Chain A
Amino acid sequence: MVSLGPAVLGLRRDARILKLPPYLSALCILVGVVWLLLLPLNDYSRQTYVSENALLPGQVHTYFGGSEHNVFRAYRHEVHSLVDKPNEERVTKLQEIFRSAGLKVATQKYGYEIGGRSIKGENVYAVLQGPRADATEAIVLVAAWRNMNGEINHSGVALMLTLARYFKRWSLWSKDIIFLIPQDSTAGPQAWVDAYHDAQAGPAVEPLSLKSGALQGAIAVDYPAGPWGHRFEKLHIHYDGIDGQLPNLDLFNTAVSIASGQTGIGCTIQRMYKHDDSYKDRLQTMLRGMVNQGLGHATGPHSSFIPYHIDAITLQTVGSGWHDEMTLGKTVESLTRSLNNLLEHLHQSFFFYLLMQANRFVSIGTYLPSAMLVAANFSITAIALWVQSGRPPKPAAKPFSTDSKDEGVEPEMTLVKEGDMTALVPASAFEIVERKLFLPVAFVCATHFLGLIPLYLFNRVSESALYPTFFLTALLTPALPLLGAYPFVTSLRPTLQHLHLIQCFSLLLLGLFLSALATLNFSLAFLVGLAAAPLSFVRPVPGKPRIALAAALVLSLVGPGLLLCVVGRPWLPSEALGGLLKGAVEAWAVNHAWTLQVVVWLVWWPAWVEGAAVLAVSGFVEAD
């Protein structure tokens, strides 16, 4: 510190230093984006590999086949016969089948109220007590009655029933196996896993009457082929959890390695069904993955398990090919056997990764810098604004004037020594003006608290009012700074320094929140960082009210207006936007997914309002 101190202090007084930050910020953003674009290249991403030795993927012989196929077909017809039956009958029948296989069965009713709509359902689950297990650990196999698209999961449910009957005959299970058939793909699994950990929300979600040990992993199967079957081409693996948390990469790798190595099924991710391993396809896969992670919503029945530190994936069948239900059954059997081998919770491999193909990934060490660079650009600007706010308003007189007729006071000069060099510098360059912190701090805090209003509104209004609320918010957001500017100036009389400090704190907080968020949900931090990037380059324009107001309007339009145009797309039918809003509200209420909404309303939105407000107000503030 001793040797560093004077050098840093010397630097602080350099007049050029304040010109640098905008370029530095822009460079940070540019490098961050380029960094991300480089990731799909071979030199920066890696081939996946299984790190946990105990998993031994594909090392066991699978016996699922033969007469099990007849059992499967019979169950599929049973399932089909239940499609239009009332709920009770369905539940009773499923219970009966599990019970006849010799398993312990229980049910759980659940219900959620969201914006005047109610989601109700009943989960059926059966516990196979492992012959070598002591009921301390369990694996979950899930087949939701309806998949994410609302189709009946005929073959998936039938496969679960068949596997339950088949697994019961084996003596090698050293963990309990739970077969879960929730009524839908998001609320049902969430209600079940919440209740499994005694964390269910309210009395509408029943507690579980039957439990086993700590859940080690969950595998969901989504195979909606009807009673006459359908041969599929590939397995589409979903791995995104709530709030962008991911399962341990080992589980994903095991699934891919078993499917492609042992049973010969190709695997695909992120709806990239035709992946030709080109740079473009890799990039597209990665970006789709990032959007899914950033949204933080449920992408399958497995998503609800991940926040409880239960690694989970969904296997979905896609396309038309030559793989049948028995191949899928063998894959699930082999995967269950691998999980059965585990001696401890999956921990060896990565929890933070971006996948760009089923067998290619980048780990956090490689990709994190890009989000951190984007976040750092705000901090750099914040520091620059802080330094600027401490500068005296005007450099005093002309220091090098030889004009002796200057009657003005001789500027006080100071001798500065830096190494061997000596310079005469006006003393004013060393002065630091006292910063008035109260108004900026209060303003920034108030704006951030203001974000609670839309956050509250969106999660409380009825579903039909969501769309109008959204438009009202989108209209008010640009209007607020413009209309508020004049009253703000006349009542509180802010100075230019105040504005610099408001912007400084606003950007400091933005950088701070984004870098904290980058460790929890990288994709969201990166995307929000990019969506707030223009704020780094906004500077007050004192004394020019018209320009300031116009600039503020433009800023507001490219900011939250961007949300309206890109996401909302007024030319799209209102159902599309409505669906998005509904999804976000449902994820908040049912899945406890908080990052997206909290970040949008309490981090991103206030930052834009503050940025536009600084610009709008600055027009009415006198230049120094």
Chain B
Amino acid sequence: MAIDKQKALLFGAAAAIRLLLFAAFPSLPDLLTGRVEISTPVTSFKRLQEGLFLYTHNVSPYDGGIFHQAPLLLPLFSLLPDIRAHPLAANLLYILADLCSANALMQIAETAESVSSRLFTSPRKELRWSSTAIAAGFLFNPLTILTTLARPTSVFTNTFILLSIAKACTGSAMTMIIALSIASYLSFYPILLFPPLVFLCYDAEARRSPKNPPNPWNFSLFHLSDLLVTTGALLYVSYLLTGSWEFIPSTYGVQLLLPDLTPNVGLWWYFFIEMFDSFREFFLGVFWLHMASYVGGLSFRLRKQPLFVVVSLLGIFAVFQPYPSIADVTLYLGLLPLYRHVFPLMRYTFPAASALLYATFLGPAFYHLWIYAGSGNANFFYAITLVWSLGLSIIIADALYAVLRDEWEAERPEMRGKDVRQI
């Protein structure tokens, strides 16, 4: 009961601080909605409103090339009262999504999957934070709060990703698949999380009935077909809703082919602005292949800890996906505290965290110089997004190192605390 009280208090405080910010600074959400660091062409709330306007006026929302988000968001938001006149309903929806995310995060933490999976138990398993602390870390992260205030649709993607991870940890395969297909339907890239999530789910099933674990191949194939069926169903409903398949090129096509080069915190936009058109297809292939290639490698190498594969992949996607924003980073930073036990093994936390902090402040300053003051140029902002990505990738790589080292020390306890050198 005590824990429930704690949880209620935490969620109440998180909701209150968001409501307070929404109410006290009515112009803040619109300001943040316009920030390129938070809103990307495929998640922006402003673009969603444009799509919504066209939709409610019986024009195809994808006409005009502004709206690139999943069609099913439209009926959801058209149910709400007019957003400009009564923003409260939409705001509450976003706050609710955040709380659901935090709830899923708590479920993940409570399974203790991060310290002891089916195939591996960390020698440092005593060292972990309570689920409430982890949820608090997510809910009170300033980046999360800013994201909620800016209301990009990536908030929902994050919720469904966390939900599918939580369900995978508890072995509810069907719910996991449904949540994952909704997340992929909304943002496309989460579909890459399928292999580690299936491993995670399989481990949970196998742990539940250690006597006769399900056949891994059958299990994977069955759920792959599940995923195809649910995603197909979502797409078909969208087809019925919009009356044509044209939403596919406008949503997933945009993710794949990058026609909109609005600046963001990622690495793609500048690269593709600079590139000659004849190389475009080739490098699109290279960039996507690079991002997707982590899935196979990490899933195999860290087969014993599939949850960590998911976490690392989310961090990698936050750096390397075509339209990243700080919303993706909040997801990674929210999940990372599950690995509290390997923090002492990380080596570059302070420099990497400082680099991130510097980038957080220099990014908006340089963007201001480029766009508003006119005294800087695009290189200023791109340079700082490079620093941001560098900081993130150092944290990701360092966490990966720490987990591998932890695994190695479980195998060879006598090496604990010894200096190692990679040769």
Contact = CB atoms under 8 A, between A and B. Distances in A.
Contacts of A307: 372-373
B358 A515 contact: yes
Interface string A514-553: 0111011000000000000000000000000000000000
Interface in A345-372: 345, 347, 351-352
A383 interface: yes
B374 A519 contact: no
Contact of B373 (A6, A309, A512): A309
Interface residues of B, number: 22
A2 B422 contact: yes
B374 A309 contact: yes
Interface string B355-372: 001100110011011001
Interface residues of A, number: 30
B64 interface: no
Nearest to A383: B350
Given A347-B374, A383-B350, A434-B344, A519 B361 contact: no
Interface string A369-394: 00000000001000100100000000
B368 A520 contact: yes
A351 B357 contact: no
Given A309-B372, A352-B375, A434-B344, A512 B350 contact: no
B133 to A, nearest CB: 9
Contacts of A347: 374
Nearest to B380: A519
A398 to B, nearest CB: 22
A486 interface: no
Contacts of A430: 417, 419
Interface in B408-423: 417, 419, 421-422
B175 interface: no
B293 interface: no
Contacts of B347: 5, 9
Nearest to A508: B354
B357 A512 contact: yes
B374 A512 contact: no
A245 interface: yes
Contacts of A245: 373, 375
A452 interface: no
A603 B198 CA distance: 48
Contacts of A379: 354
Candidate in A6, A345, A351, A519 with the most chain B CB atoms within 10 angstroms: A519
A415 to B, nearest CB: 10
Given A5-B347, A352-B375, 14 more contacts: A245-B375, A307-B372, A309-B374, A432-B344, A508-B357, A512-B354, A512-B357, A513-B361, A515-B362, A516-B358, A516-B362, A517-B365, A519-B369, A520-B369
A-B pairs, top 7 by smallest CB distance, nearest first, are A351-B375, A309-B374, A516-B361, A516-B365, A516-B362, A386-B350, A519-B365
15 contacts: A2-B422, A245-B373, A386-B350, A427-B417, A432-B344, A434-B344, A508-B357, A512-B354, A515-B362, A516-B358, A517-B365, A519-B362, A519-B369, A520-B368, A520-B369
Interface of B: 344, 347, 350, 354, 357-358, 361-362, 365-366, 368-369, 372-376, 380, 417, 419, 421-422
